[in-house]
Structure formats: C-alpha cells, structure tokens
Copies of this chain bind each other. A is one copy, B any other.
Amino acid sequence: MKFGGTSMAGSERIRRVANIVRRQQAAGHEVAVVVSAMAGETDRLVGFCREANPLYDPAEYDVVVASGEQVTSGLLALTLQSLGCKARSWLGWQLPIHTDDAHAKARIEGIDSEALLASMAAGEIAVIPGFQGLSDAGRVTTLGRGGSDTSAVAVAAGIGADRCDIYTDVDGVYTTDPRIVAKARKLKYVTYEEMLELASVGSKVLQTRSVSLAMKEGVRVQVLSSFIDDDATPADEIPGTLIVSDEELEGLDMERQLITGIAADKNEAKIILTRVPDRPGAVATIFGPLAQANINVDMIIQNVGRDKGETDVTFTVPSADLLRAQTLLEAQKEAIGYNRIITDGKVAKISVVGVGMKSHAGVAATMFRALADRGINIQAISTSEIKVSVLIDEDETELAVRVLHTAYEMDADEAA
C-alpha cells in the first residue's frame, strides 16, 4: 500500500491511513506500506537547500530531502502501534533499497527483502519511506520528485506482493479528465501500456516510471482513493482501477470497449522548419542538437515539400523548452539549411488510447470525422500501436475531448 503526501499531512490524516492499513491486515493480508512526506514538506526542504547553495551538491540535497519520508514512516508506525498493530519502519538504508549513485534522480537496482519478509511473516506491518535509497558508496539517494510511487512498485516486486495499492486523491483512472467531461467513467481495468500512454499524455495519476517498472516486474497495481468510505467496501473488492498486463486483462474484462481513454496535454509547443533540404542526414542535423540539450521531441511530421528537393518539418517539444529549442535551432540555421522557423506555444495534443485499437482500423477515422464535424482543425497526427494523437489549437482542448468522449460512446449514461 502506498500513500501520498496529502494522505500523510498531519496526525489526523495519518490516523486515517493507519485505519485503512489495519483493515487490510485484519482481512488476512501481510502488509507493507510505502509513504510520502507530508504535503509541502519536500518543498520546504528543497527551499532550504536552494537557500544554502543554489548550485547544490545532489548528494547533500538527498540527505536533506530524504528526511521528510523518514518522519512520516516513523509516525505511521507509531500510529499503527496505537491501534494495536505490530509495526516498524524500515528506512531506505536499512533494507536496503539499492540504487545507482545518480543523486536526486537515482534508479532502484534492487531491494534486499529477506529481513522485511521475515518481519511481515511475524505479523509486523512494514512501513517504508518512499523516494529514498542507498548507493553502493553507502550514501542516501533519492529517486526524484514523485518517486514514492516507484518505491512502492519496487517494494511490491521485491516481496512478490499480490498487489500494489496506490492511494491517491482520485479514486481511480478515468476514461478522461472528469473536470472536463462530467460523464467520464472510472475504468475498472487498464493495461500497463494504456496507462503509460494515458500518463505520459496528461492523466497524471501515477508517475510514468512506476508504471514502466510495474510492467517490467509484472506488479499488479491498483489506483484508488485514500478518502473513500472505508467501511462501505469489502476489503477484498477492487474499489479503484487495476493496472494489469494484456493477458490478465483478457481474462478479466471480455466486453471491453475499443477505446480505454482520452488524454489531453497542453504542455506541448509546435515548431515548424520550412523548406529543409530533402537530403540524407538533414533530419539528424535538426534533432541531434535538441537531444544533446535534453529536449524531448514528441511528435515529428515531415510534410511534402512545395518545391522539389525541399520539405517542411513539424515537431513538438515541451512548452517549457520552446525558447531553448528555438535558440538552439536558430544557431543551427546554416547547418540545417531551413528557410523559416515558425513556433506555436498554444497547441494541445489529444490522444485516444486503447489496446483494442490494434485490431480495429476505424478508430482514427472516427476521430478525424468527429473533430471535423465540429470544425476543429487537425495540425498534425501521430499514431502508435495503441494510440492516435492529434495536435489542435489549445483553445479547443476541452471541446475536442468532449466530442471524442461522445463519439467513442464512452459517456457514462450511454454505457449504463
């Protein structure tokens, strides 16, 4: 079980969490719990580090910021004890949770679970601070912001857990953002691949890294709310959304819809380079420098050139990197040999996602027709095995999502 910072913010909420945990133990489960720092605490600690040294040494930064989860793990263990449970905390260096030495953005390499399993078998609830680990050099590491989800999945894999329940402030994964579409439906199941597409294009329920790790390790992850009325649901029921493999999904959900969800991402910006020479290596001169500068390029579309031997190249980068990308490309104008650079920060990427899509050709057609019917102009298209994405004007984001949600017959009352 993993609880985020909002769930751990203060004694009263920690008591709520402890009750949820106790209930799972009472239902016969051996339980390990991964916790985040209290909401706001990590920001406070990062602020101290910045004040101490704007160019901070990430190894010492890790010493400071890892303390937030240390506090909440001790407090949850104490609170569980006050409810009559046996419980103890296991800090990152105590298990240990082995990571590489990339301080402030470390990757988990493995977990020694022997002592943990023995303690759990003896009826002790294990409470583990998320976000932290130990490098081979014996120093504290952290996984980067939001790393506690990844910690939880790694612990679940390490102990061979039946399930990794990630408690958040939403009660599951929805067909789309319920703030945009009131008729959005909560999904009972979603595959790792779908979750990755939904997460990376804007449904920020879980850290992408944690979903990748769950897929690699075959950990069944459930997303659910820590604010549900606990006594209303049997402990063994799945009140949230279960993230599973393709194979497991087939057994669980025979009557699955073609499309699982619709995601919108406003954090993309579009760049067009006009009249790029259509010769081998031209594209490399564009994207090489961007890659070196750690700028992620997402969609890439090469349009047919108006003149022979030339082509327009359109691509997207994160909005935050637009200026940097533009500066870089302008410096490379000679080398690339383009005519003009056109940028647009006000675009949105709308994606329809679903494993069912693999065997259905009509998905893209439905999408294009539905958008065209409402006069929404498609600026670019990109597809993957389980996704079709289009780039549109940012102002039309909500309209497009609603239109598509209806077009794919996902609205809640229609499904009912």
Chain A residues with CB under 8 Å of chain B are: 11, 14-15, 45, 48-49, 51-57, 59-64, 66-68, 70-71, 73-79, 81-82, 88-89, 91, 93-94, 138-140
**9 A–B pairs (Cβ distance < 8 Å), ordered by A:** A45-B71, A48-B75, A53-B79, A55-B82, A57-B78, A60-B78, A60-B89, A61-B74, A63-B71
- Are B91 and A78 in contact (CB-based, < 8 A)? no
Residues of B with C-beta under 8 A to A53: 78-79, 81-82
Cα A64 to Cα B140 with chains together (Å): 17
- Interface class of chain A by DSSP: helix
Residues from chain B with a CB closer than 8 A to the CB of A82 are 52-55
Whether A49 pairs with B63 at a CB distance below 8 angstroms is no
Q: Are B71 and A89 in contact (CB under 8 A)?
A: no
Q: In the bound complex, how far is the Cα of B94 from the Cα of A60, in angstroms? A: 14
With a cutoff of 8 Å between Cβ atoms, the chain B residues found around residue A89 in the complex are 60, 63
- Is A78 a contact of B93 with CB atoms below 8 Å? no
Q: How far apart sit A49 and B79, CA to CA, in the bound complex (Å)?
A: 9
Please state if A71 and B78 are interface contacts (CB–CB under 8 Å).
no
Question: Among B59, B66, B78, which residue has its beta carbon within 8 angstroms of that of A61?
Answer: B78
Query: Residue on B with the closest CB to A45?
Result: B71
* A48: nearest chain-B partner, CB-CB: B75
Known: A52-B78, A94-B138. 11 other contacts (CB 8 A): A15-B52, A45-B71, A49-B74, A53-B81, A53-B82, A54-B82, A57-B77, A60-B81, A63-B70, A63-B77, A66-B70
A71 surroundings in chain B (CB, below 8 A):
45, 48, 63-64, 67
The one of B11, B54, B57 in contact with A51, judged by C-beta atoms closer than 8 angstroms, is B11
Report if A91-B140 is in contact (Cβ < 8 Å); known contacts: A63-B74, A74-B64. yes
For A79, the chain B residues whose CB sits under 8 A away are 52-53
A71 to B140, CA, bound (A): 12
Chain B hits for A11, CB < 8 A: 48, 51-52
In the docked arrangement, what's the CA distance between A94 and B93, Å? 10
A73–B70 Cα distance when bound, in Å, is 15
CB pair A70 B78 closer than 8 Å? no
Contacts of A73 in B (CB 8 A): 63
Contact in complex: B60, A14 (CB < 8 Å): no
4 nearest interchain CB pairs?
A63-B74, A11-B51, A64-B74, A53-B82
Pick from A55, A59, A66, A78 the residue with the most CB of B within 10 Å: A78
A55 nearest CB across to chain B (Å): 8
Instruction: Determine the distance from Cα of A68 to Cα of B63 in the docked complex, in whole angstroms.
Output: 11
Write out the residue numbers on chain B whose beta carbons fall within 8 Å of the beta carbon of A66.
70
- CA separation between A11 and B49, bound complex, in Å? 9
User: Which chain B residues lie closer than 8 Å to A57 at the CB level?
Assistant: 77-78, 81
In the complex, which residues of chain B have a beta carbon less than 8 angstroms from the beta carbon of A81? 53, 56-57, 60
Q: Which residues of B contact A55 (CB under 8 A)?
A: 82
Closest to A51 in B: B11
- Neighbouring B residues of A94 by C-beta, 8 Å: 138-139
Q: Whole-angstrom distance between the alpha carbons of A95 and B154 in the complex?
A: 28
**Nearest chain B residue, comparing its CB with the CB of A67:** B67
> Could you tell me the distance in whole angstroms from the C-beta of A31 to the nearest C-beta in chain B?
17
A75 contacts which chain B residues (CB < 8 A)?
A: 48-49, 52, 60, 64
